Amino acid sequence: MLNLVWAEELDEATTRDVRELLLAARVVDGRPEVSAEGPLPGEFASGPHLLARDEGVLAGYAHLDTAGDSFGRQVAEVIVRPDLRRRGVGTALVAAVAARSGVSAGEDKLRFWAHGDHPAAARIAGRAGLRRVRELLVLHVPVAGADWPEPALPEGVSLRTFVPGQDEQAVVAVNARAFDWHPEQGSLTEEELRATERENWFDPAGFFLAERDGTLLGFHWTKVHPADPKQFGGEEVGEVYVVGVDPGAQGGGLGKALTLAGLRHLRERGLGQVILYVEGDNAPALAVYSRLGFTRFATDVQYSL
């Protein structure tokens, strides 16, 4: 019999159970990004947590971000242990999260992620009356043979790399203006940026800033993901993590130049693949990335209550 329990915090033993479940899901799905040690991924960092146990075994887990995205929508993640799927665990988790959120149908104040756009997630969403409202595309490009020329910066613009302890305020300010429309990225704070600087993957040498007369106009923040045996031949993969251009500096080719600078850096790192995330309805960005050789690899979906 399935037993659902909410927890505001996870004790050490439950954290181990959740990590085991997330790692098992990653083996099958390639998601989420979770390590065998250390803290859980940021999207699972704080409560409330929903634990679904079947005869003592953690069959499913859900996290509800009540602080929500940049537009005040609560955001949920739901993961079911691969060997216990198709037994109603996901349906039960979704229903319990919807009830806990206090959101009424049609308000668009609660969204569920379905990473990889799995058919099972679509079936659960349909039964729960959820609407497909957002597609986040994962694009990729093989580095070998990619034609990435030297960046052509606009007149008077220079390029340098990020300096921790110096550039946080300027980057956050430009980011807020560049992504005022984005559900997640637009809310980046200096505190969050500094916290990311403490992550093992952070590398200021891959964080490019474009300036004119000492004023930041845009940036390209790259990332290198650890090898995943289920993806990209088990090798490290680079990511065009964030490209942000101040609205006042858009339209002059700065975004393309910053993108090329980061791509060439990732190529120099010896990586075989580069990925990026882009909104499915962002036609201008999709056109740019297509010309740089990117093609669709996967799709993440958000469903709304």
Q: Residues 56-73: pLDDT tens digits?
A: 999 999 999 998 898 999
145 annotated as ligand-binding: no
Chain mean pLDDT for the chain: 93
- Is the pLDDT at 293 greater than 70, yes or no? yes
Q: Mean pLDDT, to the nearest integer, of 261-290?
A: 94
Domains of the chain: 2-129 (3.40.630.30), 139-299 (3.40.630.30)
Instruction: Name the residue with tokens 């300010």.
Output: 173
- 223 appears as a binding residue in the annotation: yes
Residue 229 has pLDDT above 70, yes or no: no
Contact in structure between 93 and 101 (CB atoms under 8 Å) = no
Q: Give the mean pLDDT of 2-31.
A: 94
Alpha carbons 148 and 140: distance in angstroms, whole number: 14
Residue 30 is predicted with a pLDDT of 83
User: Which tokens hold the place of 173?
Assistant: 């300010």
- The answer to the question of whether 87 is labelled as a binding residue is yes
- Number of helices followed by number of strands (H, E) in the chain: 7, 12
Please tell me whether 268 is known to bind a ligand.
no
pLDDT in tens, 129-187: 999 999 999 999 999 989 899 999 999 999 999 999 999 999 999 999 999 999 889 88
Q: Which two tokens stand for residue 67?
A: 């602080």
pTM listed for this prediction: 0.87
Q: Tell me: is residue 238 an annotated ligand-binding position.
A: no
- Asked if residue 228 has pLDDT above 80, the reply is no
Judge whether residue 95 has pLDDT over 70: yes
Confidence of residue 37 (pLDDT cuts 50, 70, 90): confident
Q: Is 91 annotated as a binding residue?
A: yes
Alpha-carbon distances, residue 143 vs 207, 261, 285 (angstroms): 19, 14, 19
CA-based R_g, the chain, Å: 20
Q: Is 288 annotated as a binding residue?
A: no
Statement: residue 43 has pLDDT above 90? no
Q: Is 240 annotated as a binding residue?
A: no
Choice between 6 and 199, residue whose per-residue pLDDT is larger: 6
Is 243 flagged in the annotation as binding? yes
Q: Binning pLDDT at 50, 70 and 90, where does residue 279 land?
A: very high
42 is in an annotated binding site: no
Task: Name the nearest CA neighbour of 72 among 111, 44, 46.
Answer: 111
Is residue 199 within 8 Å of residue 41, measured between CB atoms?
Answer: no
Q: For residues 83-88, give the mean pLDDT.
A: 95
CA distances, 281 to each of 225, 259, 278 (Å): 26, 20, 8
127 annotated to bind ligand: no
Extract the tokens encoding 172: 């956050």
Residue 14 CB burial class (10 angstroms; 0-12, 13-18, ≥19): middle
Q: What is the mean pLDDT of residues 44-55?
A: 92
Using alpha carbons, select from 29, 56, 247 the residue that is nearest to residue 119: 29
Q: CA dist 114 to 122, 187, 303, Å?
A: 8, 22, 8
Quick one: CA torsion of 49, 50, 55, 57, rounded to 10 degrees?
-50
Token pair belonging to 111: 């969204």
**Is 86 labelled a binding residue?**
yes
Strand partners, 210: 159, 218
Q: Does residue 210 surpass a pLDDT of 90?
A: yes
What is the b/e burial string over 86-100, where b = at least 16 CB atoms within 10 angstroms of the residue's CB? eebbbbbbbebbbeb
Q: CA 171 to CA 213: how far, in whole Å?
A: 16
| DSSP strand pairing (74-80 vs 110-114) | parallel
SS3 label, residue 102: coil
Only one residue has tokens 């203006």, namely 177
Cα dihedral: 17, 22, 27, 32 (round 10): -160
Is 254 flagged in the annotation as binding? yes
**Is 97 labelled a binding residue?**
no
In the structure, what pLDDT confidence band is assigned to residue 39 with cuts at 50, 70 and 90? confident
The contacts of residue 288 (CB under 8 Å, 6+ apart) are 255, 256, 259
266: phi > 0 → left, psi -120 to 50 → alpha, else beta; which? alpha
Rounded to whole angstroms, how far apart are CA atoms 182 and 282?
Answer: 11
- Cis bond upstream, residue 149 (ω within 30): no
Q: For residue 117, is pLDDT > 70?
A: yes
Res 230 pLDDT > 70? no
